[in-house]
Structure 1
């Protein structure tokens, strides 16, 4: 597959945890021959500890500061695929950086699908609560408008295989870039 030369910037995935940002991002990067980065994995690499430890010892505010530094660095790169953490869009500065550095892709999925995908994952500190469904619904209500605010492309991921989502995404990016360049 050609490296989509008409895309000048990065391809950036946003969405709630469990939406498929890392899985689909890796697959897309492989198909394009681009580098892949996961902002959460970069935080872990830099800090040397799991995100849950950062939340436990330093709190969410400290994690968000680390996240912003990583978003700044990743946004400065060119022609790579970036999966952001679900809350990366909470800071206006992050939203601006992401929008300015490439095409923002919102991977949207149902709460039921997220619960199924994350039910055994103990590394997600925001879901280590008595009622994960209620927590996800709150996160969705807060974050969905912000995802929509900066998204150039929106893809539903809950019922499709990864390869189908990636193929659909490539088609939408071709259409998006063709329309965007006409302005």
Structure 2
């Protein structure tokens, strides 16, 4: 099957949900560009996200994130992976709804913890109790992620390819997003 992507698909969800890995696989399967907003921010700043947080703070990072997402939504249609906090900002949600569509990779806390617990690249988890911090972030963010147009349940044991297929099935149910050609 060949598909045409009709608008940019923005992958949203918690850290560790698979936004980058699944997004990249979806883009490959659809033969469309994949862009990671965090990578774009790092490239522009010539610093890692953790370094930006440490030097300039989260508020500065969030402003840059919004600018990058806006620029990317105005460029070619693609699969766009965003950082876990990007969808929290009302301005970002409105831009995504206007110019693209949000796909929420809905992973539970257990799956997320399994994926992020041994990584030191998550600045928000640099606390004395990172598991508890993850749970608190999860509980605060899920009500906003639930506003995404296309939720896709992530489950332990599913491969990246299987998750990508799930996302494509959901996208294909929306002709404004994806059409078979």
| TM-score exceeds 0.5 | yes
1:124 matched to which residue of 2? Answer: 122
Structure 1 distance, partners of 2:82, 2:31, is: 19
In 2 relative to 1, CA 99–140 (structure 1 residues): closer, same or farther, beyond 3 Å?
Answer: same
Structure 2 distance, partners of 1:128, 1:167, is: 33
1:79 matched to which residue of 2? Answer: 77
Asked if residue 153 in structure 1 is aligned to residue 150 in structure 2, the reply is: yes
Poorly superposed stretches of 4+, deviation over 3 Å = 178-181
User: TM-score by structure 1 length?
Assistant: 0.91
2:165 matched to which residue of 1? Answer: 167
Aligned residues: 178
Structure 1 gap ranges (5+)? none
2:105 matched to which residue of 1? Answer: 107
- Determine if contact 1:111/1:133 at 8 Å carries over to the other structure: no
Structure 2 distance, partners of 1:10, 1:166, is: 16
Structure 2 distance, partners of 1:166, 1:12, is: 13
Structure 2 distance, partners of 1:10, 1:74, is: 9
1:29 deviation in Å?
A: 0.4
SS of 1:176 mapped into structure 2: coil
Higher RCO (Cα < 8 Å, 6 or more apart): 2
- Determine if contact 2:50/2:122 at 8 Å carries over to the other structure: yes
In 2 relative to 1, CA 176–67 (structure 1 residues): closer, same or farther, beyond 3 Å?
Answer: same
User: TM-score by structure 2 length?
Assistant: 0.92
Structure 2 gap ranges (5+)? none
In 2 relative to 1, CA 111–34 (structure 1 residues): closer, same or farther, beyond 3 Å?
Answer: same
2:15 matched to which residue of 1? Answer: 17
1:134 matched to which residue of 2? Answer: 132
